[in-house]
Structure 1
Amino acid sequence: EGRFDAYPRTGPTSEWDTAAGQAVLEAAGGRVLADDGQRLSYGKPRFLNGAFVAMGG
């Protein structure tokens, strides 16, 4: 319905699982936020992501 576009992810992912999708989503005006409310970052130890939410713009 387009009322709220979000994808919460609580399970583990690797940085290579999210990098391209995050780039496309952000270019389209969306955002990907880590569980601390900051933009999902890269270069973490073992390249593992914690929980995050991807949201449309």
Structure 2
Amino acid sequence: MRAIKWLIGVFAALLLFWVALGLLLRLMAALVIAVAVLLTAGVIAAAVYAMIRMHR
């Protein structure tokens, strides 16, 4: 009986660990995407600004 409870405990801990890891990876991915989008927007804005300045 004790071994079964221990196994269930280990399984639950592993499950929690994997869920936490998945959430962390998802957050990291979201952060990377957000940074990439911001960088792209910055580069585009700089290019547009440079074009406008050149035309004047």
TM class by shorter chain equals under 0.3
**Comparing both structures, which one devotes a greater share of its residues to strand?**
1
TM-score if structure 1 supplies the norm length? 0.25
Instruction: Indicate the structure (1 or 2) with the bigger Cα radius of gyration.
Output: 2
TM-score if structure 2 supplies the norm length? 0.25
Using CA pairs under 8 Å that are at least 6 residues apart, name the structure with larger relative contact order, 1 or 2: 1
